[in-house]
Structure 1
């Protein structure tokens, strides 16, 4: 049985009645660490993580899905975790992003919009001998290899 697939089913089952929560990732590491990342349109609380952890842990034990010792960790994605879903992009509208493109270039700007298959950012474009100007750029998500939120300490 695929552990990650079963855990995904269990998490989806547990958050079915909480439409503001969504699953970001499930990863079983070789060291026995099972990591579940859950996010919410308005963030995710510790209580939600605890309930999900208990639900998943209970069923994994009952079904004896994992035969070796494992450590289950349920949390929200950290700021260093790349954005992967439209809902994560939507939640971060108004924040500055660092975007790595599939052609190797990097772009930076404020996220203005998140569509099904694109994002729109306001980026500063500097041309030689001119003042930098803010330009709105629409980027297809299939041309993005990684997007991270930039932390501002202003």
Structure 2
């Protein structure tokens, strides 16, 4: 059920974000405690502001009311993906080359499943991550289909 809600929401919101020159990053429908949340994450080059989130929310809310795909009560949240945004698509990885990222893989690569490093390249269905190992740097190639989760990592 939640996959259908996510797919329909993506279908409804895509023309809205396209019209506003925004990027649809992710849609999720989750239950937290007793409440259900339909979360829509949008972004643009240079970041998104609260007014833009409000416009998407208003327009999407109207479309959802018309389609009425969700039986239970829920909260609609439209927001920025934040500084630690997830990287899911090939274009996400291409766009964020040069960024410091966290990657978790489905299976070990060189004995590890978790990596922090600078995204150096995305070519031929694999990313190249420059990681620090003690005092040295080394490049690790990770196949795109082996990535379970990835996001921008904030460094202090």
> Structure 2 length as normaliser, TM-score?
0.77
Which has the larger share of strand?
A: 2
The worse-fitting range, judged by mean Cα deviation, of 40-49 and 30-39 is 40-49
Q: Look at both structures and tell me which one has the larger radius of gyration over its CA atoms.
A: 1
1:34 to 35, 38, 44: 38
Alignment correspondent of 2:99: 95
Alignment correspondent of 2:120: 112
Alignment correspondent of 1:78: 82
Segments of structure 2 that go 5 or more residues without pairing to the other structure are none
Residues 101, 65 of structure 1: alpha-carbon distance in 2 compared, 3 angstrom cutoff? closer
Residues 15, 141 of structure 1: alpha-carbon distance in 2 compared, 3 angstrom cutoff? same
Native 8 Å contact 1:24 1:85 kept in 2: no
1:134 to 121, 130, 137: 137
Native 8 Å contact 2:106 2:147 kept in 1: yes
Cα RMSD (Å) of the superposition?
2.4
Alignment correspondent of 2:131: 123
Paired positions, count: 147
Segments of structure 1 that go 5 or more residues without pairing to the other structure are 127-131
